[in-house]
């Protein structure tokens, strides 16, 4: 259901919901063995949990759409990912744990190499070392612009984040990356009149920045794209009437949780320490988001066996997740990452929902093929939150 209906139907309760996101959970059958990573993996705890649960397949965004981490997670948090879009600049900032504020305008930056005529000869500046980028960002942080603060944060290799902080900044700016070489980077243009001041500031930043790095052998230019403001979205705790806490090792996922208003526990550590943290704060929240990264990383590496092992590692956590004593426990994925594709994919993702209601279906293993026959069918990932709240007695009847 959409956010407005959810706000209307949500009602408080004392029940607790745990959403466990196994990043890149879904996979495809190996052409030889005909078994997917989940089918190959030895996952007795997941299979037992599936036996006690209702199951199905989530469609992350739409048929054939491969989601990035942003849309994949936002859907599972109950936000229509086609309506609630996160700009690349904001995502890049979230990915380095940068504490974005509501008025910030963020962009993703690349250092590049320019020739004497100002034409791009290398859009990635030879993938300059991260240390060099750190040094250059320090220099760029000295730039002064009228009325706004300039913050430049290094990411990795040639990448950085530019944040302009101040009142009245607007997105709706074009990128300066022409996405080809042998042409000069175009200036930033405003796509709406209210963004003209922001465009002028961005161009003033570029002029000063070029002057500061013009003598660099490789990184003597820069490209900006994905200008985006920190979005002002309905906040999950208010809409759902649930105190929500996020537990994730990596910054990107904490950042996404923060966007929807969750309280974000400190990151880092291990999967186990994040689970311990969740346990220790059990009384503070009604809704818990717990993120497990390793399956996606192995899939992205194209390493079938590593993904199998990652899923087996996750299986060891399942008894601990059950022991939390939630009223609703869900195992979901933000998207599939089939190791044969070495990247995200559009394929629906196995899903299970265990609840104290005790409802089950005939599915007794947690695999793509089995979940496809589950009672929940194949359904939009953005409905996961509604289903969880229904099973937790947190939604009122619609209409009389």
Binding site for a second copy (CB under 8 A): 1, 5, 9, 28-29, 31, 57, 61-71, 81-82, 85-86, 88, 91-92, 226, 344-346, 357-362, 368-369, 372-373, 375, 377-380, 383, 385-391, 395-400
Alpha-carbon distance 386 to 334, whole Å? 16
Tell the smallest beta-carbon distance from residue 255 to a second copy (Å): 12
- Element spanning 123, H or E: none
Tell the smallest beta-carbon distance from residue 380 to a second copy (Å): 8
- SS3 state of residue 359: coil
List the structure tokens of 163: 């944040």
Alpha-carbon distance 344 to 258, whole Å? 23
Tell the smallest beta-carbon distance from residue 60 to a second copy (Å): 9
Tell the smallest beta-carbon distance from residue 183 to a second copy (Å): 20
**At which residue do the structure tokens 């599915």 appear?**
363
User: DSSP secondary structure string, 79-115?
Assistant: --TTTSPPPHHHHHHHHTT----TT-EEEEEEEEEE-
Minimum CB distance to a second copy smaller for 81 or for 271? 81
List the structure tokens of 100: 């974005």
Minimum CB distance to a second copy smaller for 56 or for 148? 56
In sequence order, the β-bridge partners of residue 288 are: 18, 245
User: DSSP secondary structure string, 374-391?
Assistant: STT-EEEGGGHHHHHHHH
Cα 317-269-262 angle, rounded to 5 deg: 80
Tell the smallest beta-carbon distance from residue 306 to a second copy (Å): 21
Tell the smallest beta-carbon distance from residue 293 to a second copy (Å): 16
Minimum CB distance to a second copy smaller for 207 or for 342? 342
Minimum CB distance to a second copy smaller for 75 or for 219? 75
The Cβ-side half-sphere exposure at 317, using a 13 Å CA radius, reads 24
What does DSSP assign to residue 183? Answer: S
Tell the smallest beta-carbon distance from residue 144 to a second copy (Å): 30
């Amino acid at each position: 259901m959409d956010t407005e209906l959810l706000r209307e139907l949500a009602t408080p309760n004392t029940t607790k919901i745990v959403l466990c996101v196994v990043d890149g959970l879904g996979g495809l059958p190996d052409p030889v063995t005909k078994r997917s990573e989940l089918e190959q993996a030895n996952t007795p705890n997941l299979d037992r949990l599936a036996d006690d649960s209702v199951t199905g397949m989530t469609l992350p965004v739409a048929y054939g759409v491969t989601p990035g981490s942003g849309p994949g997670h936002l859907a599972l948090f109950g936000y229509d990912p086609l309506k609630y879009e996160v700009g690349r600049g904001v995502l890049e900032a979230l990915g380095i744990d940068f504490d974005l504020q509501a008025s910030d305008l963020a962009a993703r930056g690349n250092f590049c190499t320019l020739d004497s005529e100002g034409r791009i000869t290398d859009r990635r500046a030879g993938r300059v070392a991260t240390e060099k980028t750190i040094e250059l960002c320090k220099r760029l942080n000295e730039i002064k612009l009228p009325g706004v603060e300039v913050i430049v944060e290094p990411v990795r290799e040639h990448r950085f984040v530019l944040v302009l902080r101040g009142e009245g900044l607007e997105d709706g700016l074009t990128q300066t990356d022409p996405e080809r070489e042998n042409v000069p980077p175009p200036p930033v243009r405003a796509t709406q009149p209210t963004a003209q001041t922001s465009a002028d500031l961005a161009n003033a930043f570029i002029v000063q920045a070029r002057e500061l790095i013009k003598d660099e052998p490789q990184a003597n230019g820069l490209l900006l794209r994905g200008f985006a403001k920190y979005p002002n979205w309905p906040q999950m705790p208010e809409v759902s009437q649930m105190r929500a806490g996020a537990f994730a090792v990596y910054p990107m996922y904490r950042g996404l949780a923060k966007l929807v208003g969750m309280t974000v526990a400190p990151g880092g550590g291990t999967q186990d320490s994040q689970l311990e943290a969740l346990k220790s704060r059990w009384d503070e929240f009604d809704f818990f988001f717990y993120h497990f990264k390793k399956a996606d990383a192995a899939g992205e590496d194209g390493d079938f066996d590593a993904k199998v092992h990652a899923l087996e590692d996750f299986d060891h956590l399942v008894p601990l997740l059950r022991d939390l004593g939630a009223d609703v426990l869900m195992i979901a994925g933000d998207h599939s990452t089939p190791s044969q594709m070495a990247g995200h994919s559009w394929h629906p993702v196995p899903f299970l929902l265990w609840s104290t209601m005790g409802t089950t279906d005939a599915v007794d293993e947690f695999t793509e093929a089995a979940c496809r026959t589950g009672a929940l069918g194949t359904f939009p990932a953005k409905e996961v939150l509604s289903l969880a709240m229904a099973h937790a007695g947190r939604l009122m009847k619609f209409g009389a």
